[in-house]
Amino acid sequence: MPELPEVETTCRGIEPHILQHPIAALEVRHWRLRWPIDPELPQRLEGAVIQQVKRRGKYILLGLEQGDLLIHLGMSGSLRVLNNAQAVAKHDHFDLVFSSGLRLRYTDPRRFGALLWQPRSEVHPLLAKLGPEPLSAEFTPEHMIQVCKQRQAAIKAVIMDSHHVVGVGNIYASEALFAAGIDPRRAAGRISAERLHRLHAEIQRILAYAIHRGGTTLRDFVGGDGKPGYFQQELYVYGREGEACKQCQTLLKSVRIGQRSSVFCPQCQR
């Protein structure tokens, strides 16, 4: 699944091509994604100008005068900026067509993404209860300590909960816990403030670096500008079950935490 750095990379990739451009049409080929696309949306968007491209959690928000167009990439979705001559493929579900002649095309083999509308005066229910952005001033070490206080849940489950902090998905939670030397199974409430300070710092460092490197290239993801990310080459634990730890050569193990596989080093992470 595309995670926060991949979504941020997509935003940065598409922004120069669509910002301040009027929408000529929304062409929908498959109306049922994770949620049905509003049949009135094409009419609402016609002539509207993209005033802002931003991200909230894993949602891409295209800001218009009357509201925001919310796009979620789901499990395997991607956005591409194309010219009008580009042929339509099987899993190309909708195009935003601009007066410039370019198209923003959404492709998703699993159809688990979304195209939603948020009026200017409202906050969409999917965004209303999200926690702070991990690279924002609101996400502080003190916030991390308060969130973990007296919690018996595994620390990995806590930092992946979007009510506490948004966008720390499986890849980056695994990598941050390894960098902080914390076992992903450890109860959040039993981790010292000093170690939580370090985990907070590693979450921010790794996410910022992954964004700089263009996200993590997964089987189904390529950046919005058509360029893949390169952070995958630098993963220490994610996807490396049974391989040797890059720090101590111990074989990495995998456990299930919150329905997700979690790879860790039994020697380096305590």
Q: From the first residue on, what is the mean pLDDT of each consecutive set of 10 residues in the chain (270 residues)?
A: 88 94 97 96 97 96 97 92 88 96 94 96 95 97 96 97 95 97 98 98 96 74 67 87 98 94 97
Which of 56, 58, 156, 198 does the annotation list as catalytic? Answer: 58
DSSP annotation of 97: E
Q: Find out whether 213 is annotated in a ligand binding site.
A: no
Q: Which of 244, 251, 249, 238 is nearest to 178 (CA)?
A: 238
CATH of the domain at 177: 1.10.8.50
Could you tell me if 159 and 110 lie in one domain? no
The residue from 68, 100, 128 where one domain ends is 128
- Position 40 scores a pLDDT of 96
- Alpha helices, DSSP H, located in the chain: 4-18, 41-45, 125-128, 141-148, 155-159, 170-180, 193-212
Residue 134 lies in a domain: no
Rounded Cα–Cα distance for residues 79 and 107 (Å): 6
CATH of the domain at 46: 3.20.190.10
The residue from 128, 153, 174 where one domain ends is 128
Q: What is the largest CA-CA distance in the chain?
A: 59
Could you tell me if 236 and 151 lie in one domain? yes
Annotation says 133 is catalytic: no
- Residue 145: C-alpha distances to residues 47, 142, 155, 188, 203 (Å): 47, 5, 11, 9, 14
- When divided into structural domains, the chain yields a total of 2
129: left (phi over 0), alpha (psi -120 to 50) or beta: alpha
Q: Which residues of 197-206 are buried (b: 16+ CB within 10 A; e: fewer)?
A: bbbbebbbeb
Q: Find out whether 270 is annotated in a ligand binding site.
A: no
Could you tell me if 9 and 118 lie in one domain? yes
Annotation says 141 is catalytic: no
- Position 218 scores a pLDDT of 58
Residue 91 lies in a domain: yes
Could you tell me if 8 and 121 lie in one domain? yes
- Position 230 scores a pLDDT of 62
Annotation says 260 is catalytic: yes
- Provide the whole-model pTM: 0.90
Could you tell me if 167 and 244 lie in one domain? yes
Q: Find out whether 205 is annotated in a ligand binding site.
A: no
Q: In what order do the strands lie in the sheet with 67-72?
A: 52-56, 59-63, 67-72, 114-119
Annotation says 194 is catalytic: no
Rounded Cα–Cα distance for residues 62 and 227 (Å): 21
Could you tell me if 62 and 24 lie in one domain? yes
DSSP annotation of 51: -
Could you tell me if 102 and 147 lie in one domain? no
The residue from 99, 128, 157 where one domain ends is 128
Could you tell me if 174 and 255 lie in one domain? yes
Rounded Cα–Cα distance for residues 71 and 37 (Å): 11
**Dihedral of CA 131/134/137/140: which sign?**
positive
Residue 135 lies in a domain: no
- The residue range of the domain holding 252 is 141-264
Could you tell me if 105 and 43 lie in one domain? yes
- For 261, the token pair is 């596989």
Which of 3, 6, 8, 175 does the annotation list as catalytic? Answer: 3
Residue 104 lies in a domain: yes
Could you tell me if 201 and 250 lie in one domain? yes
- Position 3 scores a pLDDT of 87
Alpha carbon of residue 99 to chain centroid: 29
CB 58 within 8 A of CB 8: no
List phi, psi (to 5°) of 93. Answer: -95, -30
